[in-house]
Amino acid sequence: DALIRRNLETGKARGVTLTLTSFILKAVAQALLEHPHFNASLDPAAGELIVKRHVHLGVAVATPRGLVVPVIRDVDRKPVLELQRELGALASRVREGKATLEDLRGGTFTVTNIGALGGTGAIPIINYPEVAILGVARGREEPVVREGTVVPRLLLPLSLTFDHRVADGADGARFASAIVGRLEHPDALLLGL
């Protein structure tokens, strides 16, 4: 908690309000490096899985014209603060109808966060030609028992949808666990802020 508070203050001092989404993007990017078959696309004609060398994350943005998915490039190589800046700029361009074609293509994996809209759960649909998508619902503080003591904890419902031609349930569980592990211990996500 103190680490996160300190980094939120650092971000604010640099003119950026950090959101949970930027931390989720960083956690997903790091987990994709360990589980590259989720950072891929399927070539149905050739019947081949094309594993991507770069991590370009699509982020679903609700607009009056419907859902639009702009892409933040090289998420694995950027600090959380830079991701937040890019996310804010991209979302603004999309909502204003000023997104370029380059803003909207090249994604390797998508994150859709319905939590800001009050959503408590969802089963997202894969953004073709990608092979997986992560849905994030509204986080809520709930009482949790830790070492025999009831303490408040943020619970964040996540839902991973993936193409079972690429991975099975065990692979999906390991990938989801890699994401959750990073979110439960965000100190590594904050290195280099």
Q: How close are the terminal C-alpha atoms of the chain, in Å?
A: 16
Q: Choose, from 35, 54, 56, 164, the residue flagged as catalytic.
A: 164
Max Cα–Cα distance, the chain, nearest Å: 55
Specify whether 164 is catalytic: yes
Task: Cis check for the bond before 129: say yes or no (omega within 30 of 0).
Answer: yes
Active site residues: 164
